[in-house]
Amino acid sequence: MNLGVALGSLGDGRGDADLLGQAVAAYREALTERTRDRVPLDWAMTQVNLGTALSLLGERKGNADLLDQAVAAYREALTEWTRDRVPLQWATTQANLATVERARFGLTRDATHLDAAQGYLEAARGVFAAHGADGYLAIVANIQAGIDACRG
């Protein structure tokens, strides 16, 4: 898990797809140890980290399949990171899904991805506002600006 975090940070910071690919592999390996049965919340966190690495890699490579895999990883995480159980983590994952959907729009120009992104973002915004998470609301505003720019 720690290796994935380090590789993902380096890969993102340097714009290095090879390092991001190594991060994806490290997270997948971590999931063999951090199983849902043994440590469900840690498993969900690893799924989120995998989703983020896949999302970054998919954007860098312009690869829709990688973005689809990111969505799948985030959705897996949400089976444990539920709104009732861990609302802020749930909302963060919703914001991550919004970012991936915006990236999917960038590849396909299919407006349904922007609509999906908007739905995820509104869900996240509601939870962050209810919890007074102003820092997260600033992130949501940033993502919203990206969606609005795509809509032109």
Could you read off the pLDDT of 58-115 as tens digits, one per residue? 999 999 999 999 999 999 999 999 999 999 999 999 999 999 999 999 999 999 999 9
Q: What is the CA radius of gyration of the chain?
A: 15
The 8-class DSSP code of residue 38 comes to: T
120, 95 contact by CB (below 8 A):
yes
Identify the residue whose tokens are 């959907």: 101
Amino acid letter for position 27: Y
- Amino acid identity of 107? L
Backbone angles phi, psi at 81, to 5 degrees: -85, 75
- What is the pTM (predicted TM-score) of this model? 0.94
Residue 31: is its pLDDT beyond 80? yes
pLDDT at residue 90, rounded to an integer: 98
User: For residue range 83-95, what is the model confidence (pLDDT) as tens digits?
Assistant: 999 999 999 999 9
Contact residues for 111 (Cβ-Cβ < 8 A; gap 6+): 105
DSSP state for residue 81 in the 8-state scheme: S
Taking the domains of the chain in order of start, what are their residue ranges? 1-81, 83-152
C-alpha 92, offset from chain centre: 8
3-state SS, residue 86? coil
Residue linked to tokens 């102003």 = 134
Q: What does the alpha-carbon distance between residue 34 and residue 4 come to, in Å, rounded to a whole number? A: 13
Report the topology of domain 1-81.
Answer: 1.25.40
Q: State both tokens at 74.
A: 């985030």
